[in-house]
């Protein structure tokens, strides 16, 4: 009965993603539009790589770092809400908080001597920077699970693992997903900085543009990154909606 | 059978449960009662090992619970928690199927079982199976909680204030249904409540606790009549005779020998009315619509004038109604007789004040021997108000329009 309500925003998000992919693949269109906007620029289009190539690079960077954030952040959030990890809860909260307040540019600078230039220092910086929303939402989501539901589950003979998987996670999934969404969207924007250490992506035209004082370069990188963030946000919002159990829909 | 042997639970300096021992024979309902914080929930939760006792033993059917894996133990003990605790993300049917699924039942086995259980607790399965907890009222949620505890047909049921969070009317209905279910299923039940009337109504035995200790463990009658201490006496309340009326049901004392007609006041025969108090009027299905007061008819009034139309929901009781409730209904209506109907309002018979008095007298001689002026052993100032007693004695008509609908 609520099928259409669930399907419409998801279809819209998918359509947005397809449209974005198409726009990004049309180097010609970018060239023409940029020529219009910057009529006096000699070379309005960033020559280093096509927008499509830059976007793919960007996605790879974000994919790896956000993937790691998820794989570490969610279990970390789960662990500190278990009896075995409860003692570490404050430490973890402080650490992820620090991870977010510490400027990513500084992390990049600190990582280069250790990991060299390229993808990896950027991955580390983004991984740390994105942890906070994932961990804190995982903890908040699990804490918000009604005590009575967990108590009833225990009283009926569910083991700890089963309670986590079939009661706590389903009840917390929308809050956890909201954290993931925030983390990924922040990551897409922050990842442009990573071009400074040679990680590539949509930060290349931005940083390149600043260096050669070509605002057309800056604009194309920024616009593509912004569009990517919007598309990712709506896709993740759809995923959040899909994963939210029926019984919890308002 | 459940046996608690000198069970103690200590939290740091606080002793939540202190050397409690009692036995619940199979098929009986044991009600744990006592002031808030006296250790009822703690005692209950030690039975299924949600809490581990500091010392003492709990034995179920000869097996020490400490020798059974907690998950295994709990899957075979139905548990209704104090705050219902339905899983909000699962449908009513999925909630009820929880334990059967844990036990590895096939869908073909638990699906029909779930629907059957919803009917047992008085919910229309077609309507409610697919609903989510947030779509239920408090009373409906508590019914689902009970159905969920009964799902795998456990011989043992632990219920922590299962009817705590509902209005008095719903509570009364849920109690009646619990009593009916218990008569049918004969589970061994440990039931926690704050409510003395609920305890008296449902218990085979009452365990009255205070500050972690067991004050008295006995039948409701014994607690009422032979309280072991002043605390027990005060806790059970002063209106003892009225309270024990809460234990008997209308079904025990009603008569089905009543006059009725489906032809309206036209069908009322003056002759047969001489023998009875009321001539009941029903529709073709037998649903109670009203009555003709034979006393008024005797006085020479016409049947039309002596007739009263009523709503059976207000003017009649059901077989599961307690005698206490029936008595209060009589007082409200101002008659010594009240009609008994089934859940759809069909006339089954009537119950009279004298029948109530008779059973009380049979059950317990000293009540019959109470001095004059105490109806059912209730001194006027604390039980039946004097004006209501006068009404009962004379069988006067209620005020015009009081029960007419
Ligand atoms: N985990 C715990 N740690 C410390 N004290 C506890 C704990 N659980 C219960 N208590 C204390 O033990 C006592 C008994 O608690 P319990 O929950 O059994 O009371 P109860 O009779 O069920 O009360 P209520 O009628 O309010 O539900 C209370 O004083 C309570 O504060
Ligand atoms: Mg309690």
What is the total count of domains within chain B?
A: 2
Length of chain B counted residue by residue: 405
Q: Does residue B206 share a domain with residue B96?
A: yes
Q: Note the pLDDT tens digit of each residue in A28-67.
A: 999 999 999 998 888 888 988 899 999 999 999 999 999 9
Tokens of B388: 């209501």
Q: Does residue B306 share a domain with residue B275?
A: yes
Out of B74, B84, B91, the one facing A156 most closely (by C-beta) is B74
Strand blocks (E) in B12-155: 14-24, 29-33, 55-60, 63-64, 77-80
Looking at residue B244, its pLDDT comes to 81
Tokens of A6: 């669930």
Q: Does residue B234 share a domain with residue B264?
A: no
Subunit contact A155:B79, Cβ cutoff 8 A: yes
Q: Does residue B9 share a domain with residue B60?
A: yes
Mean pLDDT confidence for B66-73: 95
Domain boundaries, given as residue ranges, for chain A? 3-243
Looking at residue B169, its pLDDT comes to 81
Return d(Cα A56, Cα A40) in angstroms, integer: 30
- Weakest-pLDDT range from A145-149, A154-158, B167-171, B207-211: B167-171
Looking at residue A41, its pLDDT comes to 82
Looking at residue B384, its pLDDT comes to 44
B398 within domain boundaries: no
ipTM greater than cut 0.90: no
Examine the fold and report which residue of B247, B277, B312 is the final residue of a domain before the chain moves on: B247
Q: Does residue B209 share a domain with residue B104?
A: yes
Tokens of B351: 């119950």
Q: Does residue B183 share a domain with residue B77?
A: yes
CB B43 within 8 A of CB B121: no
Q: Best interface-test mutation with B: which of A2, A156, A174, A176 has the largest number of B CBs within 10 A?
A: A156
The CATH number of the domain holding residue B346 is 3.10.580.10
Q: Write down the mean pLDDT value for chain B.
A: 86
Q: Ligand 1, closest atom to CA B35?
A: 25
Q: Does residue B176 share a domain with residue B101?
A: yes
What is the value of pTM for the model shown? 0.81
Mean pLDDT confidence for B17-35: 96
B400 within domain boundaries: no
Q: CA–CA distance from A194 to each of A57, A117, A229 (Å)?
A: 11, 10, 16
Residue of B50, B109, B37 lying closest to B85 (CA atoms)? B50
B159, containing H or E segment: strand B156-160
pLDDT surpassing 60 at residue A2: no
Return d(Cα A236, Cα A177) in angstroms, integer: 8
pLDDT surpassing 80 at residue B363: no
Q: Does residue B174 share a domain with residue B92?
A: yes
Torsion from C-alpha of B309, B314, B320, B325, nearest 10 degrees: -120
CB B126 within 8 A of CB B92: no
Q: Does residue B150 share a domain with residue B109?
A: yes
Task: Find the angle CA(A60)-CA(A61)-CA(A66) to the nearest 5 degrees.
Answer: 100
Q: What is the distance in angstroms between the Cα of A158 and the nearest Cα belonging to chain B?
A: 6
Return d(Cα B167, Cα A123) in angstroms, integer: 59
CB A49 within 8 A of CB A205: no
pLDDT surpassing 50 at residue B258: yes
**Coil, helix or strand for B77?**
strand
- Weakest-pLDDT range from A99-108, A234-243, B136-145: A99-108
Subunit contact A156:B148, Cβ cutoff 8 A: yes
Mean pLDDT confidence for B281-303: 87
Return d(Cα A165, Cα A231) in angstroms, integer: 30
B399 within domain boundaries: no
Beta-ladder partners of B316 = B339
Please state the three-class secondary structure of B316-376 as a single string.
Answer: EECCCCEHHHHHHHHHHHCCCEEEEECCCCEEEEEEEHHHHHHHHHHHCHHHHCCCCCCHH
Q: Ligand 1, closest atom to CA B42?
A: 18
Q: Note the pLDDT tens digit of each residue in A6-28.
A: 788 889 999 999 999 999 999 99
Q: Does residue B260 share a domain with residue B239?
A: no
* Domain that residue B33 falls in: 2-247
Which residue among B7, B11, B80, B194 is best mutated to probe the pocket of ligand 1, counting the most ligand atoms within 8 A of its Cβ? B11
Looking at residue B365, its pLDDT comes to 42
- Weakest-pLDDT range from A116-120, A226-230, B24-28, B190-194: A116-120
Q: Note the pLDDT tens digit of each residue in B93-125.
A: 999 999 999 999 999 999 999 999 999 888 999
Q: Please report how the helices A203-211 and A215-243 are oriented relative to each other, as an axis angle in degrees rounded to 10.
A: 160
Q: Does residue B36 share a domain with residue B71?
A: yes
B404 or B124, greater pLDDT: B124
Q: Does residue B256 share a domain with residue B194?
A: no
Give A5's pLDDT tier (boundaries 50, 70, 90).
Answer: low
Could you name the CATH architecture of A3-243? Orthogonal Bundle (1.10)
Give A144's pLDDT tier (boundaries 50, 70, 90).
Answer: very high
The CATH number of the domain holding residue B86 is 3.40.50.300
pLDDT surpassing 60 at residue B367: no
A68 or B274, greater pLDDT: A68
Tokens of B179: 């009593």
A103 or B43, greater pLDDT: B43
Q: Note the pLDDT tens digit of each residue in B296-328.
A: 888 878 888 888 898 998 889 999 899 988 998
Pairing of strands B337-341, B29-33: unpaired
């Amino acid at each position: 009965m609520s099928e259409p309500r669930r399907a419409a925003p998801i279809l819209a998000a998918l359509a947005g993603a397809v449209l974005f992919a198409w726009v990004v693949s049309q180097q010609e269109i970018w060239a023409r539009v940029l020529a219009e906007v910057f009529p006096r620029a000699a070379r309005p289009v960033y020559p280093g790589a096509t927008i499509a190539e830059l976007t793919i690079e960007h996605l790879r960077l974000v994919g790896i770092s956000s993937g790691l954030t998820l794989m570490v952040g969610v279990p970390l959030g789960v662990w500190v809400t278990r009896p075995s990890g409860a003692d570490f809860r404050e430490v973890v909260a402080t650490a992820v908080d620090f991870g977010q307040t510490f400027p990513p540019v500084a992390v990049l600078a600190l990582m280069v001597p250790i990991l060299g230039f390229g993808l990896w220092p950027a991955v580390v910086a983004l991984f740390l920077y994105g942890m906070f929303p994932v961990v804190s939402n995982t903890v908040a989501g699990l804490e918000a699970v009604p005590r009575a539901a967990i108590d009833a589950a225990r009283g009926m003979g569910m083991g700890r693992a089963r309670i986590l998987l079939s009661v706590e996670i389903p009840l917390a999934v929308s809050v956890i997903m909201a954290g993931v969404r925030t983390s990924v969207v922040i990551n897409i924007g922050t990842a442009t900085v990573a071009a400074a250490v040679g990680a590539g992506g949509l930060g290349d035209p931005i940083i390149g543009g600043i260096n050669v004082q070509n605002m057309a370069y800056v604009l194309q990188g920024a616009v593509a990154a912004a569009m990517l963030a919007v598309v990712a946000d709506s896709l993740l919002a759809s995923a959040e909606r899909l994963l939210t159990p029926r019984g919890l829909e308002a | 059978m459940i046996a608690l042997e000198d069970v103690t639970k200590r939290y740091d300096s606080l002793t939540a449960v202190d050397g409690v021992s009692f036995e619940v024979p199979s098929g009986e309902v044991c009600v744990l009662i006592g002031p808030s914080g006296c250790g009822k929930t703690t005692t209950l939760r030690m039975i299924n090992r949600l809490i581990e006792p500091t010392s003492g033993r709990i034995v179920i059917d000869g097996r020490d619970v400490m020798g059974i894996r907690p998950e295994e133990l709990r899957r075979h003990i139905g548990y209704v928690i104090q705050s219902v605790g339905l899983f909000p993300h699962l449908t009513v049917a999925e909630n009820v199927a929880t334990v059967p699924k844990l036990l590895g039942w096939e869908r073909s086995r638990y699906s029909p079982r779930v629907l059957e259980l919803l009917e047992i607790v008085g919910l229309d399965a077609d309507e409610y199976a697919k609903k989510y907890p947030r779509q239920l009222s408090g009373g409906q949620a508590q019914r689902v909680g009970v159905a969920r505890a009964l799902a795998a047909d456990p011989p043992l049921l632990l219920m922590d204030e299962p009817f705590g969070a509902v209005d008095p009317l719903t509570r009364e209905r849920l109690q009646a249904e619990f009593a009916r279910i218990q008569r049918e299923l004969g589970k061994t039940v440990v039931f926690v409540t704050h409510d003395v009337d609920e305890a008296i109504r449902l218990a085979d035995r009452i365990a009255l606790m205070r500050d972690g200790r067991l004050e008295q463990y006995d039948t409701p009658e014994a607690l009422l009549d032979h309280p072991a201490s002043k605390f027990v006496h005060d806790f059970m309340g002063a209106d003892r005779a009225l309270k024990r009326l809460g234990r008997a049901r209308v079904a025990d004392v009603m008569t089905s020998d009543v006059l009725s007609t489906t032809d309206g006041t036209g069908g009322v025969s003056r002759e047969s009315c001489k023998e009875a108090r009321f001539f009941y009027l029903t529709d073709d299905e037998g649903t109670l619509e009203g009555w003709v007061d034979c006393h008024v008819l005797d006085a020479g009034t016409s049947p039309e004038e002596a007739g009263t139309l009523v709503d059976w929901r207000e003017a009649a009781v059901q077989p599961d109604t307690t005698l206490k409730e029936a008595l209060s209904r009589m007082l409200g209506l101002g008659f010594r007789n009240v009609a008994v109907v089934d859940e759809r309002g069909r006339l089954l018979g009537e119950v009279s004040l004298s029948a109530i008095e008779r059973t009380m007298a049979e059950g317990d001689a000293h009540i019959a021997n109470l001095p004059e002026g105490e109806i059912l052993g209730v001194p006027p100032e604390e039980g039946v108000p004097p004006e209501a007693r006068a009404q009962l004695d004379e069988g006067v008509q209620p005020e015009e329009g009081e029960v007419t609908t």
